[in-house]
Amino acid sequence: MGKVIFVSAGPGVADLITVRGARALAQADVVLFDALTDPALREHAPRAQWIDVGKRGFCHSTKQTAINAALVKQAQQHGLVVRLKGGDASVFGRLEEELIALAEAGIESEVVPGVTAAIAAAAHTQRPLTRRGAGRSVSLTTAMTKDGELVAHRSADTEVFYMAGQQLAALSRKLLDAGWPADTPVLAVSRAGCADALASDHTVATLPAASMLHKGRPTVVTVGAGAAPLARIPADTTRSAAEHPLVEALSD
């Protein structure tokens, strides 16, 4: 009986994977990988067998029950199996179902954390998800329920919606219904973490305009404080680095 390590590949390019994740890949006998993981990650596991179990929304993909069964089967036949998931495995990655399947089969598992798309989008646009005095809370939400219903909430200063790219116009209406003011800033980023990432600024009311730009691309939508452009610090409140009290104390 082998072991399964869930490795979070990060969104986009291969070098967003963690050092621990890369080390796990290097030791793997088998890698079961998601659709959006960078093919360049194969360089970290040259001796492993790679099995495509990719899942994509709104199109044909591997059923979750089949993935669970494949994980159990491969772990029963090999010493180390890596389940390579895009983004962070714990964020909308169907991780719980796979962990349960392994636990029921008596198979040991480990989870390696990683970078999720919301963080990659914030980094790409240099817009922190939390803002001092304005954005104290962040919510990560899947726009689509398991029943295919589009939902939106207003439960935090910043809301990040995953898997909404094909329904931006409908999301705009849902956001208004949830109580977001029409002029609330909205940031749409598609293929966050990739070299061809695209970002566009909108408001809740004008979000439908983003549909064509991000069409066919995995998109995260940030609403609220974390979507706003950087605010300028008033000149009379700034100090040069040399004038900072900490610097002055260290130089004494």
DSSP β-bridge partners for residue 161 = 141, 221
Check 34, 38, 88, 157 and give the catalytic one.
34
Neighbour count for residue 69 (Cβ, 10 Å):
13
Check 38, 55, 144, 174 and give the catalytic one.
55
Nearby residues of 28 by Cβ (< 8 Å), 6 or more positions away = 5, 45, 48, 80, 81, 82
Q: With contact defined as beta carbons under 8 Å apart, do 93 and 163 qualify?
A: no
CA distance linking residue 68 with residue 99, whole number of Å: 9
Active site residue 55: yes
Active site residue 1: no
Check 88, 144, 157, 163 and give the catalytic one.
163
* In the chain, alpha helices (H): 19-27, 64-77, 95-104, 117-125, 168-177, 245-251
Q: Do the bridges between strand 3-8 and strand 80-85 make them parallel or antiparallel, or are there none, so unpaired?
A: parallel
CA distance linking residue 43 with residue 9, whole number of Å: 13
Give me the active site residues, please. Answer: 34, 55, 163
